[in-house]
Structure 1
């Protein structure tokens, strides 16, 4: 099986409380397109209630069940709807991955007087010698939940520091007296990049660690989770997540897939984070930036180096490849949007190759409701289906030119009609003579993406494949292409009939 992950949300989804229901309805389509796991957005109540995307975490135990922060449901719906969405994914053979956000808490219920030292924002090791008493938003009592599931109360001792003194009404970074920033975090930015936002959780405080393990095991059991996406790894002590993840797996008695966000474009830093344990996968940030740069370089990016110094090149077993996510889309803090013209090629580079675990972005699959309503990538569902059904067998790379590159997959006996050839360019059109396997000798291959003429495969299994300027071309065996077109039309009819039936019932 060629696994494919879906990031099941984008940043600017409407705050209509309907997204869990939307994912449940889309689950059969996800399965048809080849999705094997969905990374769901943060399910717990955030500082801004039903408007919160989920990263401004308030109450980890409130999955849209309690009247807190102005609403019962989250931006995405209620707990019951969340669990129903997970059930729908499971019914379609799809894993549910929870977004785990443990670095910070926001929206405290009360302030506390705390002795602290001011810290320079751009040098977190530069801590003032003199202390001062500040008023910090650090007391979390969760009155709306009233002790359900956990009676743990968070106070200032559970945190390293904050960036706001409510008494002085002053924004500055403060480290609480007796606390120290975590050591095994990113040191290439701000000298120590433990602090990110809100009240910075001291994950190594024994009481906090025990509570986070207790919460995690509750969450896995209550919602039948299959794994995790870990947020903001470069801001959290590395040893914490190694211990926490081991505790989750021991409790569950199974592997529990895990991918982490360590947002650095240096392959060496990602490799160092993975360490000897290799306990989780990481998003391939270096590859994302290569895709972004290729789309913005006016044809001057060297495509022969598209995979150089990426995680999928160095450690494909622990690389989750992606073209886009909620942080890189326009308007977000890490905006590095792969331009529309290159997006089909970017997805071919992660979906139709043997290495890496690709993650498709919901905003590319369904469009992004930004101010300018960015459209969906038209070719994406087809590329996903080709991955699911035909991208198998030995791979032959032709990454040997700066502007026109290609590769083939020979196919295998276990997947009828399998085999694929890909050619793409970031500049002028061109061609590649490529080997598709002796088993395909004498066949005709059809271009299913890119509007090119058929290709005759010679007696030794070679063919010359073309692409237009700035375009992607994908070829399949002619009989496979015909069957694919028929199957997709049949699927469309079945889906539309089902939708009409649901409308009549409603």
Structure 2
């Protein structure tokens, strides 16, 4: 049988409340209750959970990205509470059991690049501080002062987890300044800056007086993104993966997560800031562990690599893939940028608005989408918690165009699409909006409904088989999916124009039959030769399937 299409759901947005304001339930409990309908009505196969390790602020302002202790999943009384923002470990395990029951694979958001909120100030071996040099934020090679001693909060003792009441801790490793490469706070000076941690300057080589000064040796990883001179440092306390104990403990954590919780993979947060050689080892460890415990099946590994240039993602993938038989994925940020570019052109009424450039603009090949070059390694998306309004990577997309872009990622053969919680259920916070892809209902426009659930279900039921593209007009593109012996296909039309338009396309299965648009309910007859003009209203989407296809009655 043809396997069902993969569909990943990001199960949170930046302002997701937990506990839920109406039920008082944690987000884990809310997801457990919601999961059966997500599978049945949307065809969700993979669930991306938020970072669920103990954070500096378990009440939630950092959503878990302010990671304190990887080994505490809401089990120990640390940072003023036992559970994480998202719930307790017990609630997490119930959610994971429900996911296994429904055959949903759960992806864990792994924050591996930094820690925050150490338990004590590290004053070094002699009690006077830790050697560091302050560097420029926009150029980490530019040092702003001579070496000096700082007082960083870099002792992580985990007193809530490593105490006599916990007789068999999963990890006994306690961290100090030697395990980090940089930090953003000096308690002695009571100020924020980027401090590169260094060894005692007395041990450094002396430059020849006739030579230019060279940077003081530090612990920045070199195999990282090279923006800002060196982008190893992102925030908080940056972890040094050249330290063997740090490396060993984090690899042990990956094995522990897979074997004790049953998760099916990782989303690697801020991966471009982490040593690629370490990530290669982390991925290899995760793959071998998952294969051992899941009958040879590979985990789902996807990395966050923010860049407009696909070459940077290619470099990353080549650097972290441990062997040719391992599939590592990356979120396709160049494709997202193409969506935003087309949206901006439409909003400004620019003549450059061209759907044919959605994958690759011939005049700008550096910004080609990853899915056009490495389709199996691209996770495609329209929005996420970083791109929503008010966030660090805010990416404006016109609300009436989101339905086009979601249809594009959900109904095509290439890529693994990810649906954003905020687009499915709306976002909270100061810039909160309702669910995306809204269209008027049949009551004269007094109310609306979202087409996003419909598109998700259409992917589950009808987006199968070989693909034929009709990318011959700037304002209207289309494609057909031929179906397989046991799965149905479809015809999809996207239009930027202001009026009804159509695309003449050929279908093999369904000749001489009636076809229906799942989004509007309109019906047409296809000629015996298989040709038909499939229409769509202006700035809209049409998803046409055989009227007699199994599952049409669900729309």
Q: Same fold (TM over 0.5)?
A: yes
The corresponding residue for 2:110 is 100
Matched, 1:154 2:175: yes
The corresponding residue for 2:341 is 293
CA distance in 1, matches of 2:497, 2:152: 55
Compare the two structures and name the one with the higher helix fraction: 1
Matched, 1:13 2:16: yes
CA distance in 1, matches of 2:18, 2:463: 37
The corresponding residue for 1:116 is 132
The corresponding residue for 1:440 is 510
Within the candidate set 515, 522, 526, 1:457 is matched to: 526
After TM superposition, give the deviation of residue 372 of structure 1 in Å: 4.7
Give the SS at the match of 1:405: strand
Stretch deviating more after TM superposition (336-345 or 105-114): 336-345
The corresponding residue for 1:487 is 554
The corresponding residue for 1:391 is 463
Give the SS at the match of 1:381: helix
After TM superposition, give the deviation of residue 456 of structure 1 in Å: 2.1
CA distance in 2, matches of 1:424, 1:270: 28
CA distance in 2, matches of 1:153, 1:236: 21
CA distance in 2, matches of 1:41, 1:394: 35
CA distance in 2, matches of 1:310, 1:93: 31
The corresponding residue for 2:203 is none
Matched, 1:25 2:9: no
Give the SS at the match of 1:145: coil
Within the candidate set 461, 465, 469, 2:538 is matched to: 469
Where do residues 12-411 of structure 1 align in structure 2 (5 Å cutoff)? 12-16=15-19, 18-32=26-40, 33-51=42-60, 52-112=62-122, 113-127=129-143, 130-147=146-163, 148-178=169-199, 179-187=218-226, 189-252=227-290, 253=292, 254=296, 255-275=298-318, 277=321, 279=326, 280-297=328-345, 298=347, 299-300=349-350, 301-308=353-360, 309-377=368-436, 378-411=450-483
Contact residue 31 and residue 93 of structure 1 kept, 8 A = no
Stretch deviating more after TM superposition (226-235 or 163-172): 163-172
CA distance in 1, matches of 2:504, 2:299: 39
CA distance in 2, matches of 1:429, 1:181: 55
Q: 1:44 to 1:467 in 2, by over 3 A?
A: same
Matched, 1:412 2:484: yes
After TM superposition, give the deviation of residue 411 of structure 1 in Å: 1.8
Give the SS at the match of 1:476: strand
After TM superposition, give the deviation of residue 306 of structure 1 in Å: 0.2
CA distance in 2, matches of 1:5, 1:453: 30
The corresponding residue for 2:547 is 478
The CA deviation string for residues 326-367 of structure 1, in whole angstroms up to 9 with x for no partner, is 100111100104322111111100000111111111111111
Count of residue correspondences:
482
Q: TM-score, normalised by structure 2?
A: 0.84
CA distance in 2, matches of 1:435, 1:412: 18
CA distance in 1, matches of 2:243, 2:380: 34
The CA RMSD over aligned residues, in Å, is 1.7
Contact residue 421 and residue 436 of structure 1 kept, 8 A = no
After TM superposition, give the deviation of residue 478 of structure 1 in Å: 1.7
CA distance in 2, matches of 1:460, 1:410: 15
Stretch deviating more after TM superposition (12-21 or 83-92): 12-21
The CA deviation string for residues 343-402 of structure 1, in whole angstroms up to 9 with x for no partner, is 111110000011111111111111112335311131111111111111112211111211
Contact residue 290 and residue 306 of structure 1 kept, 8 A = yes
Stretch deviating more after TM superposition (131-140 or 365-374): 365-374
The corresponding residue for 1:501 is none
After TM superposition, give the deviation of residue 220 of structure 1 in Å: 1.3
After TM superposition, give the deviation of residue 15 of structure 1 in Å: 3.0
Give the SS at the match of 1:139: coil
Q: 1:467 to 1:38 in 2, by over 3 A?
A: same
The CA deviation string for residues 405-454 of structure 1, in whole angstroms up to 9 with x for no partner, is 11111222212xx12111112233343333342222111211221x3742
Stretch deviating more after TM superposition (276-285 or 439-448): 276-285
Give the SS at the match of 1:422: strand
Contact residue 57 and residue 106 of structure 1 kept, 8 A = yes
Give the SS at the match of 1:373: coil
Give the SS at the match of 2:250: helix
Give the SS at the match of 1:282: strand
After TM superposition, give the deviation of residue 180 of structure 1 in Å: 2.2
The corresponding residue for 1:424 is 494
Contact residue 229 and residue 260 of structure 1 kept, 8 A = yes
Q: TM-score, normalised by structure 1?
A: 0.92
After TM superposition, give the deviation of residue 140 of structure 1 in Å: 0.6
The CA deviation string for residues 234-283 of structure 1, in whole angstroms up to 9 with x for no partner, is 10111111011111222332421201001111111111211174641111
After TM superposition, give the deviation of residue 487 of structure 1 in Å: 3.4
Q: 1:131 to 1:372 in 2, by over 3 A?
A: closer
After TM superposition, give the deviation of residue 7 of structure 1 in Å: 0.9
CA distance in 1, matches of 2:508, 2:492: 18
Stretch deviating more after TM superposition (294-303 or 3-12): 294-303
Give the SS at the match of 1:186: coil
The corresponding residue for 1:492 is none
CA distance in 1, matches of 2:156, 2:512: 70
